[in-house]
Chain A
Amino acid sequence: MIRLLLAVLVVWSSAASAETLRMAVTTSFHNSGLADVLLPEIADDLGLEVQLLVVGTGQALRLGEAGDVDAILVHSRGAEEAFVAAGYGTHRREIMYNDFVLIGPQDDPAAIAESETATEALTRIAEAQAIFVSRGDDSGTHLKELALWADAGRDPAGFGRWYNAVGAGMGAALNTASGLNAYILSDRASWLSFGNRGDLALLFAGDPVLFNQYAYLPVNPERHPHVAADLARALEDWLVSDRARDLIDGYRMEGEQLFVFNAQSEGDT
């Protein structure tokens, strides 16, 4: 009986997953809407259905380590290099970048709009003890925020009640910031696609330190023989092609270019 049940389950699941590739991506990539442009083109060009799992960078890396996805597309260089070094991924391929922005109340009590650098902006927030919302979920955005605090010579562990680590995704954290009328670090795409802005506004952007590099990492087939390594390879070739370049560079949201394609043609893998 149990054997029969298992057999049925296996047939059912394999029928559902023919010619598909599972890729874990970050919320920020998905919120940008770029996936909705790229996926149909990939389906046309390669005949490949890419199934996206939209999770935080931390969870995306875990899914890759467990072999539950075939490839990941995330933005946290240190964590990615550790992933490859530990043998979970074959290599790391840079594809494109977008940028982080600092969002805050329109009247800007900490006056961060006048700062020269991102570090200075955060210092002003800390000195004004203005309410700040942190992702607090080990996502790429959260790790970036922590790195920026470290640059500013401050440790969030010692912050008072003005610092709120919500432990949630970008959208949920933006909702919290909107409710508290607080400062928050967000990726530009999530901010532009966010519908519940309330009194928040984009206050600071443009510091090169805020650039956010996305990289593609195929899961290592030596460790997980079941992963679709051929399909992952085909997808990588497509992602670094001129066709992908035109689509990525040409993508606009509310009239703004979100992503800059910067994949090297070969060799840096």
Chain B
Amino acid sequence: MIDLWDGVVQALRLVAGLDATLTDIALRSLQVTLSALGIACLIAFPLAALLAVRRFRWRRTVIAVLNALMGLPPVVVGLVVYVLLSRSGPFGVLGLLFTPTAMIIAQVIIIVPLIASIAHQSLRDLWHDYHDLLISMNVTQGQKLRTLMWDARRALLTAALAGFGRGIGEVGAIMIVGGNIDNATRVMTTAIALETGRGDFALALALGFILIVMTVAINLAVHTLGRTEREGRW
């Protein structure tokens, strides 16, 4: 229990002192996960909408696979991305390994299935309501997708936040492809793993608390800006 208290005290001290290293790795955490989230949303939302609207032969299989991939083990994703980006791998010439870009790539792979699955769930329900109307108006496929995505924007926001949550707390993949290099690819979660390894539980916990507070703050900010959970609003 002493450790937990030490962790809280140290967290407050780090935040109060605006520790330069802490600010640096916290910002890098946000940079990596938010970039990954942006790219993942660009892929996952249209994919989810397409799966809701289009009827094709392997649709059920694709949806089932997508749902299953929500549980992708990050360490396996990390290993696969490592092998692909390694100098001896197919994309080695790009020299991307151990850069934030590599971490973003790994996180995109991890969170796309999650975002797409959650988004698909809401879009499918909405499509059920809109189906007759949109068909009778004889709109194009693109218009259908856009209408669905716009009207389900709050549900899509929830899907994005779930993706953000999985990305910001992830350590297995980014440890392998990022390498936890000081001042280059060290982020909150890999720093926590490092301090745990050193047996400095107080500092590890302090970083952990700061990460949790950061995540909560971002979720609150998004909800406030998005005006969700307000009376009389959907």
A-facing residues in B147-190 (Cβ within 8 Å): 179-184
Interface size class of A (residues with CB under 8 A): 20 to 34
B196 at the interface (CB under 8 A from A): yes
B95 at the interface (CB under 8 A from A): yes
A91 at the interface (CB under 8 A from B): no
Q: CA A111 – CA B100 in complex, angstroms?
A: 50
Tell which of B92, B95, B202 has the most Cβ of chain A within 10 Å: B95
Closest Cβ–Cβ distance, residue A147 to chain B (whole Å)? 24
CB distance A224 to B87 under 8 Å?
yes
CB distance A52 to B196 under 8 Å?
no
Interface segment among A11-19, A206-214, A257-265: the answer is A11-19
CB distance A22 to B98 under 8 Å?
yes
A150 at the interface (CB under 8 A from B): no
Contact residues in B for A197 (Cβ distance below 8 Å): 199
CB distance B87 to A68 under 8 Å?
yes
Given contacts A6-B94, A51-B181, contact A66 B86 (CB under 8 A): yes
CB distance B198 to A53 under 8 Å?
no
Contact residues in B for A16 (Cβ distance below 8 Å): 99-100, 184
CB distance B198 to A13 under 8 Å?
no
Closest Cβ–Cβ distance, residue A184 to chain B (whole Å)? 13
A193 at the interface (CB under 8 A from B): yes
Contact residues in B for A170 (Cβ distance below 8 Å): 197
Closest Cβ–Cβ distance, residue B115 to chain A (whole Å)? 20
CB distance B197 to A171 under 8 Å?
yes
Interface size class of B (residues with CB under 8 A): 20 to 34
CB distance B200 to A226 under 8 Å?
no
Closest Cβ–Cβ distance, residue A162 to chain B (whole Å)? 23
A158 at the interface (CB under 8 A from B): no
Contact with A along B98-137 (1 / 0, CB 8 A): 1111000000000000000000000000000000000000
Contact residues in B for A14 (Cβ distance below 8 Å): 95
B66 at the interface (CB under 8 A from A): no
CB distance A53 to B88 under 8 Å?
no
Given contacts A9-B94, A66-B88, A68-B98, contact A31 B181 (CB under 8 A): no
Contact residues in A for B182 (Cβ distance below 8 Å): 51-52
Q: Which of A13, A31, A65, A226 contacts B101 (CB 8 A)?
A: A13
B97 at the interface (CB under 8 A from A): yes
Given contacts A51-B181, A224-B87, contact A17 B99 (CB under 8 A): yes
CB distance A12 to B87 under 8 Å?
no
B-facing residues in A34-76 (Cβ within 8 Å): 51-55, 65-68
Contact with B along A164-197 (1 / 0, CB 8 A): 0000011110110010000000000000011111
A27 at the interface (CB under 8 A from B): yes
Closest Cβ–Cβ distance, residue A70 to chain B (whole Å)? 11
CB distance A172 to B98 under 8 Å?
no
Given contacts A10-B94, A53-B179, A54-B180, contact A195 B101 (CB under 8 A): no
Nearest B residue to A15 via CB reads B99
Nearest A residue to B97 via CB reads A68
Q: Which of B99, B179, B198 contacts A31 (CB 8 A)?
A: B198
A-facing residues in B74-99 (Cβ within 8 Å): 86-89, 92, 94-99
Nearest B residue to A36 via CB reads B182
Closest Cβ–Cβ distance, residue B46 to chain A (whole Å)? 14
B-facing residues in A70-125 (Cβ within 8 Å): none
Given contacts A171-B197, A195-B198, A196-B201, contact A67 B88 (CB under 8 A): yes
Given contacts A14-B95, A175-B199, A195-B198, contact A53 B101 (CB under 8 A): no
Q: CA A197 – CA B94 in complex, angstroms?
A: 44
Q: Which of B97, B180, B197 contacts A172 (CB 8 A)?
A: B197
Given contacts A9-B94, A67-B88, contact A171 B198 (CB under 8 A): yes
Q: CA A193 – CA B94 in complex, angstroms?
A: 38
Nearest A residue to B185 via CB reads A51
30 contacts between A and B (CB under 8 A): A6-B94, A9-B96, A13-B99, A16-B99, A16-B184, A17-B95, A17-B99, A22-B98, A51-B182, A51-B183, A53-B98, A55-B179, A67-B88, A67-B92, A68-B88, A68-B97, A170-B197, A171-B196, A171-B197, A171-B199, A172-B196, A172-B197, A175-B197, A175-B199, A193-B198, A194-B198, A195-B199, A196-B201, A224-B87, A226-B87
Interface, chain B (partner A; CB < 8 A): 86-89, 92, 94-101, 179-184, 194, 196-202
Q: A16-B100, A195-B200 are known; give 9 further A-B pairs, CB within 8 A.
A: A6-B94, A22-B98, A22-B181, A51-B98, A53-B181, A67-B88, A68-B87, A68-B98, A196-B201
